């Protein structure tokens, strides 16, 4: 038997750089191997070697949880957002998604009566899934309190009304919408910093009301967007877990598990196209993959046409759910703990982004939201400019246009704390070239 390591010896860093320099044919090796990302506002290496490894690693399930909080698997909930409609149609939609493989539901009860709320959840066996309820009235609050006491429901219940209520015991009651940053065109370190800031703000308020740090963090659910910058998005979830651990640990919780955040990741709309729909499946697949590799707890793949004049979401919802099922049931990414672990470039990017996000968080804690709002607007404007000038290619949006576009328009009735969401296909002034 031949000696593998004799025939295929490792290369030194110098040998590797010499080879790259030769292949570049006179181009600067530093420009090729070290990048500045104008959207993400960080300088990073586009490669990683064992020589650069600082050896500062942890184990999955151990602090600082950058490699995840689980030790047995990488499982996640495949969640579906139930569109607001008549109670009967919402119930039918929800049951259909569960039959198609969903393991979680998000339901907004709007201003429904409790009789209508009962109709929405008819025949849904909540003890077998994870759910999120949005309620707005005292009647709905009392009803949710009642059903969560009588049924074994793994539930998040969020008050969207103006009236304040006591927390619903043993349930998450506060959602941190870091996704607002992504909706508004912001970047990864801004999204992490905002999640840390709002999470810390809510944590402090709950503790000020008399809760222990352990009980307070159990009330929080973090909702992130998922963008198209694959490695940055993957690393985003790892960095956030690490930094949130730092925040919570400073309050000395009794239980170590209290330092692990519960994260929902949701696909956004900034890079989606309703004129050229098929590209959306590729975008949603890579976005979802980055979130799963990052170790999230819930994955919500929204229909790419959910913010459009298209009222038929059945097909696009099924396609989105199928992506999630493919990642779990066919790719077995739920079976491998930290599938992205062991990559030098990812480890280096984690350290780079941790430094940047923590700095932004500290600035946010000191100055408040106003400066962040203006910074997000700058990044959003840069995204639009890059698309209009075709410095960044978005197939179907600014290049390789669909010759037979669908006759649909964007219909956005969502507002975030940072303003109206950015959708490149809607916001960019681009001349279509067929």
Reported as a single tens digit per residue, the pLDDT across 230-272 is 999 999 999 999 999 999 999 999 999 999 999 999 999 999 9
Q: Which residue has the higher pLDDT, 226 or 9?
A: 226
Confidence at residue 409, expressed as pLDDT on a 0 to 100 scale: 95
pLDDT tens per residue, range 96-149: 999 999 999 999 999 999 999 999 999 999 999 999 999 999 999 999 999 888
Distance of alpha carbon 23 from alpha carbon 288, whole angstroms: 34
pLDDT tens per residue, range 336-351: 999 999 888 899 999 9
Question: Left if phi > 0, otherwise alpha if psi is -120 to 50, otherwise beta: which for 190?
Answer: alpha
Q: What is the mean pLDDT of the chain?
A: 93
**Taking residues 23-40, what's their average pLDDT?**
88
**Taking residues 347-366, what's their average pLDDT?**
96
**Taking residues 319-324, what's their average pLDDT?**
98
Q: Bridge-partner residues for 79, per DSSP?
A: 104, 300
Task: Give CATH 3.20.20.240 domain extents, the chain.
Answer: 77-363
Does the structure show a pLDDT above 90 at 28?
A: no
Confidence at residue 311, expressed as pLDDT on a 0 to 100 scale: 86
Confidence at residue 2, expressed as pLDDT on a 0 to 100 scale: 65
Half-sphere exposure of 247 (CA within 13 A, CB side): 26
Confidence at residue 55, expressed as pLDDT on a 0 to 100 scale: 64
Percent of the chain with pLDDT over 90: 78
Name which of 80, 85, 127 is nearest 99 in CA terms.
80
Options 3.20.20.70, 1.10.1740.10, 3.30.428.10, 3.20.20.240; CATH of 77-363: 3.20.20.240
Confidence at residue 27, expressed as pLDDT on a 0 to 100 scale: 84
* Least confident segment among 21-25, 78-82, 166-170: 166-170
Confidence at residue 80, expressed as pLDDT on a 0 to 100 scale: 98
Question: Left if phi > 0, otherwise alpha if psi is -120 to 50, otherwise beta: which for 65?
Answer: left
Percent of the chain with pLDDT over 70: 98
Distance of alpha carbon 319 from alpha carbon 313, whole angstroms: 10
**Taking residues 178-185, what's their average pLDDT?**
98
pLDDT tens per residue, range 48-106: 777 777 667 789 999 999 999 999 999 999 999 999 999 999 999 999 999 999 999 99
Does the structure show a pLDDT above 90 at 416?
A: yes
Confidence at residue 4, expressed as pLDDT on a 0 to 100 scale: 63
Instruction: Quote the tokens at residue 258.
Output: 């209290």
Confidence at residue 434, expressed as pLDDT on a 0 to 100 scale: 60
Q: Are 82 and 90 in contact (CB under 8 A)?
A: yes
Cis bond leading into 29, ω under 30°? no
Kindly report the pTM of this predicted structure.
0.95
Distance of alpha carbon 124 from alpha carbon 126, whole angstroms: 6
Greatest CA span in the chain, whole angstroms?
A: 76
Confidence at residue 213, expressed as pLDDT on a 0 to 100 scale: 98
**Taking residues 374-389, what's their average pLDDT?**
98
């Amino acid at each position: 038997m031949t000696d593998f390591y004799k025939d295929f010896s490792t290369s030194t860093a110098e040998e590797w750089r010499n080879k790259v320099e030769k292949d570049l044919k006179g181009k600067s090796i530093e420009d090729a191997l070290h990048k500045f990302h104008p959207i993400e506002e960080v300088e990073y290496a586009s490669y990683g070697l064992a020589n650069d490894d600082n050896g500062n690693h942890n184990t999955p399930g151990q602090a600082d949880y950058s490699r995840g909080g689980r030790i047995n698997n990488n499982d996640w909930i495949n969640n579906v957002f139930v569109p607001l409609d008549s109670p009967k149609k919402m119930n039918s939609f929800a049951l259909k998604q569960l039959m198609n493989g969903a393991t979680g539901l998000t339901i907004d009860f709007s201003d429904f009566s409790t009789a209508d709320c009962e109709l929405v959840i008819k025949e849904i066996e909540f003890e077998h899934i994870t759910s999120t309820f949005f309620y707005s009235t005292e009647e709905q609050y009392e009803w949710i309190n009642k059903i969560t006491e009588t049924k074994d429901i793994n539930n998040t219940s969020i008050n969207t009304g103006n009236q304040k209520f006591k927390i619903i015991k043993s349930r998450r009651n506060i959602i941190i919408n870091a996704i607002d940053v992504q909706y508004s065109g912001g970047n990864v370190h801004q999204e992490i910093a905002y999640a840390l800031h709002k999470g810390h703000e809510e944590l402090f308020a709950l503790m000020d009301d008399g809760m222990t740090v352990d009980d307070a963090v159990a009330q929080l659910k973090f909702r992130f967007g998922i963008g198209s910058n694959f490695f940055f998005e993957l690393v985003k979830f790892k960095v956030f877990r690490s930094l949130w651990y730092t925040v919570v640990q400073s309050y000395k919780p009794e239980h170590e598990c209290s330092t692990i955040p519960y994260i929902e990741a949701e696909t956004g709309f900034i890079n989606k196209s309703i004129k050229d729909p098929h590209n959306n499946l590729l975008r949603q697949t890579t976005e979802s993959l980055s979130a799963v590799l990052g170790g999230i707890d819930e994955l919500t793949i929204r229909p790419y046409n959910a913010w459009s004049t298209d009222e038929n979401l059945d097909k696009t919802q099924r396609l989105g759910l199928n992506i999630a099922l493919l990642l779990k049931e066919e790719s077995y990414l739920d079976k491998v703990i930290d599938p992205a672990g062991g990559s030098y470039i990812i480890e280096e990017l984690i350290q780079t982004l941790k430094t940047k996000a923590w700095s932004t968080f500290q600035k946010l804690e000191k100055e408040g939201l106003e400066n962040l709002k203006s910074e997000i607007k700058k990044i959003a404007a840069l995204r639009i400019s890059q698309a209009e000038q075709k410095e960044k290619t978005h197939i179907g949006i600014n290049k390789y246009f669909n010759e037979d576009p669908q006759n649909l328009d964007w219909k956005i009735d969502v507002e975030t704390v940072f303003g109206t969401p950015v959708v490149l296909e809607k916001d960019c002034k681009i001349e279509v070239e067929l």
